[in-house]
Amino acid sequence: MTDRHDYIVASRRGIFLVGHAGHRQLAAGYFFGVTVRDGDLYCFRTVSAAAAEADPNSGSIVRYRYRDGMLDAGEVLVEGLDHNGHQVDFFDGSFWLVDSGHQRVLEFDSRWHQVAEHRIGPPVARRGPDDAHINSFLGRGDRIHLMLHNAYRKRPSEIVTFDRDFREIARTPLPSTGCHDIVELENGELLYCESSKGRIRSTGGEAHRLDFLYTRGLAVGPDEIAVGSSLYGARLARGVLPGYLTFLDRAYNRLARVYLPAAPTQIRRLDGADLSLSQPR
């Protein structure tokens, strides 16, 4: 890409490099989470819902080396994970995976050994009335923020804030259910995707509509914001639904929009100057 900023977009149809001028696919596969570190990509790779019925422990953490605009073949760092993982990130010396299917967050050390399980709720039936469907993670300072989707519980989403020992500090109810992503802005407010409303919204109350699609995927740099949106359909059809990446300036004015052949699941700015990262550059 030749844009000033490049973004990595995870999706059910692969990893894409995206800028104002367009997109290019870097890897094929089913991806729900991605983060960047020292120019490399660390992803949660999984399989379709249909394939997971035969092999539910088909999730893996994969590292891709990014060099000269290309990815290598990838190295599997952890395998045998539940297929219903979501966001991943580095924070406070560890690597973190949101294990949505088990209502917990898994913590890995630098040798990719699991060193802790942080349970947010008890094991429950998936997509049942007690499934909070945790989907987003952000560490910042001595705090960790998690997004509780809560649509299956038929209640508004919540951002729950914990200390490093996972003692709950605060719980912030949001106006809608089914929200995604958490970004801590410079003023301390949390920005998130109010997905079902086609908006991004801050905990301070300011809201900006992107379109009438489903917003998911959010990256915030010093000078611009990138937001994913997509058509929304039945779970088994989501692997073929297209999407968009919309670029805004920091005053929320639209700069550009790029069509994507897949719905974004997570977005990161490649150079790491991105407040969606727990440890931004």
pLDDT at residue 237 tops 80: no
Give dist(CA 97, CA 79) in Å, integer. 12
Give dist(CA 160, CA 138) in Å, integer. 11
Q: Are strands 214-220 and 224-230 parallel, antiparallel or unpaired?
A: antiparallel
The pTM score is 0.94
Where residue 240 falls among pLDDT bands split at 50, 70, 90?
low
Q: Are strands 214-220 and 207-209 parallel, antiparallel or unpaired?
A: unpaired
Q: What is the reported pLDDT for 123?
A: 87
Per the listing, tokens 């367009």 go with 22
Average pLDDT rounded to a whole number, residues 249-266: 96
pLDDT at residue 238 tops 60: no
Q: Token digits for 188?
A: 């301390």
Give the amino acid at 153. Answer: R
